[in-house]
Chain A
Amino acid sequence: MSVTLDSPEQLPPAYRSTGGISRRAYRVLRRERAAQVGASIIVLLVFVALTAPILAPYPAQGRGVADVPARDLAPSWQHLFGTDHLGRDILSRVIFGARPALGVSLVVVLMAMLIGVPLGMIAGYRGGWLDETLMRITDLFLAFPPLLLAIVISALLGPSLYHAAIALVISWWPWYARLSRTVTQSLRQAPFIDAARVFGVREPVILARHVLRNSTTPILVQATVDLGTVILAVGALAFLGLASQPPLADWGLMVADGRETIQTEWWISTFPGIAIFVTVLGFNLLGDVLRDVLDPRSGS
C-alpha cells in the first residue's frame, strides 16, 4: 500500500492519553488546594447527612424534642454548640439540618436542570420563532421575584419545605434554559455538528449525542455552584418562615430562632450560620475545579 502508516512505536506520545474521568479527578485533587478543601467539605456534608442519627449526641433533640430546663445554655463540654430556647442541643440540630439542606438543594437543582436544559437546547438549536417563543416564556418566569413567588405559594398551599422547593424550581429553571441555549448556539456552528447532519443523523439524536454531551461542562459547573446558592435561598426563605416549619431542624430556621437574642445567646444563630457558610463555600470551590475534571482536553 502506498499509504504510509504510523507504526505503533511512532504514535506520538506527545498526544498521550489524558485518561478517563477518574484519572483526571485524581490529578486535579492532588494538585489544586481548592479541590481538596471543596471536596472535603462536601464529603463531610454528605457523611453528616447520612449518619445524622448516629453522629448527633442528642438525636431526639435533633429531631425536635425539647428539653426546656436546659434552655439557653452556653457552649460547654456537654453541649458543644450550646442549646437553644427550647433546650435542644444545637450541635445535634446542626447535624440534622444537613439533611434538608442537601436534600432540597439537590432536588431543586435537578428539577431546574430537567426543565431548563432541554428547553434551552431546542431553542438554541432551532432558532427562529421557536427560539423567540421559548425565550419570551423564559423571560416571563425570570421576571417573577423568587421571594414573592414563595410568599404567594406558601399563602396558597401553606408554608413547608416542599412548597419552598417548588417556588425555587420555578424561579431557577430559566437560568439553565438560558445557559444551555447559549452553549447550544455556539455549538451549532461547529463543524462536527455539520458532520452529523451530513451523515443524516436525526435531530433529536444530534441534540442528545453531540450537543448535550458537549454542554455538560458549563451546565454541571453551574449546577455545582447552584447547589450552594439554593441552600442560601432556602435558608433565607426558612428565616422568613416560608419554608421549613418548626420543629424541623433547618439551618435557616435556626438562624431565625436566635435572631432576637443574638447579642446574648449568640450561639443559637451563629453555628447554623457557619454551617451554611461552609457548605456554600465547599460547593463554590468544587465548581471552580470541576471544569478541569470534566473536560477531556485538560491536563497533559
Chain B
Amino acid sequence: MSSALLELRDVVKLYPVRGSGRKGASIRAVDGVDLAIPAGRVFGLVGESGSGKTTVARCILGLTPLSEGSIEFDGVDLSAADRRARRALHREIQLVFQQPAAALDPRMTVDRLIAEPLTTHGLARGAALRERIARLLDDVGLLPAHLRRYPHELSGGQCQRVVIARALATDPRLVVLDEPTSALDIVVQAQILNLLVELRDRHGLTYLLISHDLSVVRHLSDRIGVMYLGRVVEEGPAAALLDDPRHPYTQALLASTRGRGSASLDASAPLEDELPSTWELPTGCRFHPRCALREKLGRPAACETIDPERVAVSPDHAAACHFAGGADAGPEGLRS
C-alpha cells in the first residue's frame, strides 16, 4: 500500500537482559510487526501489558531505535534519515500522552510550554508567536487566563488540552495517542474524545491510537490491530473486527470488557492464566497455553509446534491463528 502515510515492515525491538544468568538472552518486546496506516485515518492498536504496543509507539516517535526492520513515514525511512530529515520528522509526528500532568514540565507555565515546540523549530517569534499560541488555545478550548498557570494548577482535562495544543503546534500529520483518556474522568474523557475527533477533521490528521480500552478504540478507530506478546495477532476494519473477531485472544479481550451485564461475571472466564514470562515465549503459537479455542478443538498439535501465519478472513481482515477461517480450517494434514 504505497499510499500509506506510515508503514512498519517486520519491525523488531530487542532488549538485552542482564544479570538473569542467561548470556545473550533478550526480551523480544516487538517481534516482527507489519502495519500500514493510510493518511487521514485512525488506527487503533490494542493490547495489554507486555504486548509491545508502547514500544512500537516509541520506535515510531524516534525515542527508541529499532533492532530490525524498517519504519517509513511518507516514504522516508526513519532510520536512514539524516539530521535535517529527522528534524522534519519531529515536526510531522507528534505524541499525546497518557498522564497529562506528568507530560508537562512542572516548572514551566502554559505559555512557555506551548511556545516550546514552536521556538525549537524556529516557527514563530514575538507577536507571531503570541498569535499562534492564542490560536492553539482556542483550538483546544482553553482560555488566555490559563497561560500563566503551572501544570499543578490545572485540572486533568485542562492538562490534557495543553498536551494536545503542544502536539498540534508544529502542524503534524501523524499524531500518536498513547492512552489519551485513561487517566481522565468520564465527562472529561468525552470532552477530550470530541476534541480529538474535531481536530482530526479540521486539520486532516492521521492518528495512531494506543489503548487498552476497547470502547475508546471502537469510538475513534477506522482500523484496529490487536497485539499480543510483540506480534499483531489480528488486524482489520474496526466494525468487522469487533463484530466478528477471529483470533481467540481478540475474542477473550472482548469477553473481558465491562458493561456486558452481571451475568457476564458468572460465566466461565475467557482467560484464566497470567501472561507467560516474556523471555520464555511459548513454542509454536505464542497464545496457545491460554487459548480457549485450542481446548475446544482438543489441543491440535499445530498450535504447539507451528507459529501461525496471518490468515486472511476477508480482503482487509486477517488473524494469525491456524483456525481463523473457522474451526475446519487449519494447516494441511494437521487437522485433528
Contact = CB atoms under 8 A, between A and B. Distances in A.
A194 B152 contact: no
Interface in A186-229: 190-192, 194-201, 205, 209-210, 213-214
B103 A192 contact: yes
A224 B11 CA distance: 51
A156 interface: no
Interface of B: 61-63, 86-87, 90-91, 93-95, 97-99, 102-107, 116-117, 120-121, 140-143, 145-146, 148-150, 152-155, 158, 163, 166, 170, 191, 194-195, 198
Contacts of A297: 106, 150, 152
Contacts of B90: 198-200
A272 B158 CA distance: 57
B166 A195 contact: yes
A195 B61 CA distance: 10
Contact of A6 (B95, B121, B158): B158
Given A17-B149, A198-B90, A190 B141 contact: no
Interface of A: 1-8, 11-12, 15-18, 190-192, 194-201, 205, 209-210, 213-214, 296-297
A15 B195 contact: no
B140 A3 contact: yes
Nearest to B112: A209
Nearest to B163: A195
A16 to B, nearest CB: 7
A11 B141 contact: no
20 contacts: A2-B198, A5-B141, A5-B143, A6-B143, A7-B143, A12-B155, A16-B153, A191-B97, A191-B102, A195-B95, A195-B104, A195-B163, A198-B61, A198-B94, A199-B166, A199-B170, A200-B121, A209-B105, A296-B107, A297-B152
A213 B109 CA distance: 13
A192 B143 CA distance: 22
A109 to B, nearest CB: 23
Contacts of A210: 105
